[in-house]
Structure 1
Amino acid sequence: MEAKWLEDFLSLAETRSFSRAAHDRHLTQSALSRRIAALETWLGAKLIDRTVSPVRLTSTGVMFRGQAAEILRGIYAARTLAHAHELVADGVQVVRLSVVHTLLFTFLPQRLRKLRDELGHIKAKVQAVNIPDGVQALVEGDTDLFLAYHHPQLPILLDANRFPFLTLGTDKLIPVSATDANGSAVYRLSGESQEPIPFMAYAPGTFLGNVVEMLILNSVETCGLRRTFEAHMSEAVKAMVVAGNGLGWLPASCIARELQEKSVAIAGADSWATDLEIRIYRSAENQSTAAEELWSWMKKHASGGASPTSRPER
Structure 2
Amino acid sequence: MELKWLEDFASLARTGSFSRSAEERHVTQSAFSRRIQALETWLGVALIDRSTYPTTLTAAGREFRETAEEAVRMLHGSRSALQASARPNAQVVAVAALHTLALTFFPRWFRQIEAATGPLSSRVLPDDFHNCIQAVAEGGYDFLLTFHHPSVPILLDPEHYPHRIVGADSLVPVCCAGLADESAALPLLSYPQTSFLGRVVIHAQARAGNPPAVIAHTNENAMAEALKFMALEGHGLAWLPRSLVARDLEDGRLIAVGEEAPLEIRLYRNAGHRRSTVSAVWQAAAAIAAKTMQDRNSPV
What TM bracket, shorter-length normalisation? 0.5 to 0.7
Structure 1 contact 173–251 (Cα < 8 Å) conserved: yes
Which structure's CA Rg is the greater one?
2
Tell me the matched-pair count: 210
Per-residue CA deviation, residues 27-86 of structure 1 (Å, 9 max, x unaligned), is xxxxxxxxxxxxxxxxxxxxxxxxxxxxxxxxxxxxxxxxxxxxxxxxxxxxxxxxx999
Q: Shift of residue 259 of structure 1?
A: 0.6
Does 1:129 pair with 2:127?
Answer: yes
Structure 1 contact 197–247 (Cα < 8 Å) conserved: yes
Aligned partner letter, 1:300: A
Corresponding position of 1:300 = 287
Q: Secondary structure at the match of 1:301?
A: helix
Cα distance change of structure 1 residues 141 and 217 upon mapping to structure 2, 3 Å threshold = same
Aligned match of 2:264 in 261, 274, 277? 277
Q: Which consecutive unaligned segments of at least 5 residues does structure 1 have? A: 1-83, 181-185, 306-314
Aligned match of 2:155 in 154, 157, 164? 157
Aligned match of 2:275 in 285, 288, 312? 288
CA distance in 1 between counterparts of 2:173 and 2:151 reads 19
Q: Secondary structure at the match of 1:255?
A: helix
Q: Shift of residue 260 of structure 1?
A: 0.8
Identical-residue share of aligned pairs (%)? 33
Using the size of structure 2 for normalisation, the TM-score is 0.64
CA distance in 1 between counterparts of 2:86 and 2:282 reads 20
Aligned partner letter, 2:289: A
Cα distance change of structure 1 residues 150 and 94 upon mapping to structure 2, 3 Å threshold = same
Q: Secondary structure at the match of 1:291?
A: helix
Q: Shift of residue 115 of structure 1?
A: 3.1
Q: Shift of residue 133 of structure 1?
A: 1.3
Q: Shift of residue 113 of structure 1?
A: 2.1
Aligned partner letter, 2:108: Q
Aligned partner letter, 2:256: I
Does 1:115 pair with 2:104?
Answer: no
Aligned match of 1:170 in 156, 168, 181? 168
CA distance in 1 between counterparts of 2:273 and 2:90 reads 18
Structure 2 contact 165–266 (Cα < 8 Å) conserved: yes
Corresponding position of 2:65 = none
Corresponding position of 1:216 = 205
Aligned match of 1:238 in 205, 208, 228? 228
Does 1:97 pair with 2:95?
Answer: yes
Aligned partner letter, 2:266: R
Q: Shift of residue 286 of structure 1?
A: 1.6
Structure 2 contact 213–237 (Cα < 8 Å) conserved: no
Per-residue CA deviation, residues 211-250 of structure 1 (Å, 9 max, x unaligned), is 1111223448771424111101000000001111111110
Aligned partner letter, 1:281: Y
CA distance in 2 between counterparts of 1:178 and 1:196 reads 14
Does 1:187 pair with 2:180?
Answer: yes
Aligned match of 1:204 in 193, 208, 220? 193
Corresponding position of 2:144 = 146
Q: Shift of residue 144 of structure 1?
A: 0.2
Structure 2 contact 176–231 (Cα < 8 Å) conserved: yes
In terms of fraction of residues, the more helix-rich structure is: 2
Q: What's the Cα RMSD here?
A: 2.6
Q: Which consecutive unaligned segments of at least 5 residues does structure 2 have? A: 1-82, 293-300
Cα distance change of structure 1 residues 243 and 85 upon mapping to structure 2, 3 Å threshold = farther
